[in-house]
Copies of this chain bind each other. A is one copy, B any other.
Amino acid sequence: MPELRKDMLTGRWVIISTERSRRPDDFRPTVKSEVSRENLAFCPFCPGNETKTPPEVYSIRNDGSSPDQPGWQARVVPNKFPALLPGLLPPRKARGSYQWMEGVGVHEVVIENPDHNLEMADLPPGHLGQIIKIYRQRTIAIEQQFHYQYVQIFKNKGPEAGASLSHPHSQIIATPIVPKRIKEEIYGAERLFRNSFRECAICRMVREERQSGERLIFENESFVLISPFASRFPFEMAIVPKRHSAFFRQLADEEITSLAEVLKQALSRLKFQLSDPPFNLVFHQAPNPQVAEKAWPGIDFYYHWHLEILPILTKVAGFELGTGFYINPVPPESAAEYLRKNEIT
């Protein structure tokens, strides 16, 4: 019998479909996904091509090297084709019954390492830790301007996941409003905190997942890696900090190694236990503290930042677009069992 499952934060239901279910082995490597090897001379993210990007806003560099020159380990640059442009907070305007505003915001690219072919899953944990520090640093820097209300950190790996360049990179977009999806999580978490659980819903979820172990894939000192109960996608994963915290920017230095380890575990399992699929990596954090506490008093107590990893193994189709319902052919418990069975070292 298929199951309907409810995502407790957003109220979104998913269909865990058994009639059309596929076995995890169906997603094992077969033919490696075709990677179009662009001419490296034309990759704007490779060392030596620094002038092909806008001037860097941040970098981790070898001693003695200069900005926008080779010698970097990781680089942050404004997106050359930004979805939003820097500016002051624009007013909301009306056109007839419609509302709109100017598209003010930040759109940056994090070039994760100089080697065109070294994917995030392959990076040494120490380097991965440097990238996580960059995410934290950029979040704090961008949030100094109060009107950048929400900072979305994400990564698209592979063309089917929306990546237009293959050199390993992630992106940061800051928006002048708090996005719908984040608002839904905040309101959902608040409602559960006040009306039902009297504690953070995600803290409670982490405790239950560690007790049952059914959907637990990996854990270390500070983080758990799980298959979410109401996963939308086959082999969807979530990384959740054990320490309660609404704001990713409050990640402690001593937690960075732990996060790098669990992220590498997640991405390695995708790469080596599945078919190295395209994926999206998505951070969910509380909005800019300059607005969050005013708009949602107590958000510190009931919201809990986390990270979603969404492999692209099926197509989103009319039913999903029409209803917001997702059909997932792999039960999360089977996904977790499959993903945890081999130790990745």
Contact = CB atoms under 8 A, between A and B. Distances in A.
Interface stretch (A42-50, A69-77, A288-296, A316-324): A316-324
A98 B1 contact: no
Contact of A16 (B103, B197, B321): B103
Number of copies: 2
A83 B17 contact: yes
Contacts of A102: 1-4
A83 B179 contact: no
Given A17-B103, A98-B6, A281 B318 contact: yes
Contact of A101 (B3, B171, B179, B205): B3
Interface in A151-206: 152, 154-156, 159-163, 171, 173, 175-177, 179-182, 184, 197, 201, 204-205
A205 B280 contact: no
Interface residues of A, number: 77
A140 interface: no
Nearest to A172: B319
A177 B8 CA distance: 15
B318 A161 contact: yes
Given A2-B83, A5-B98, A85-B2, A322 B103 contact: no
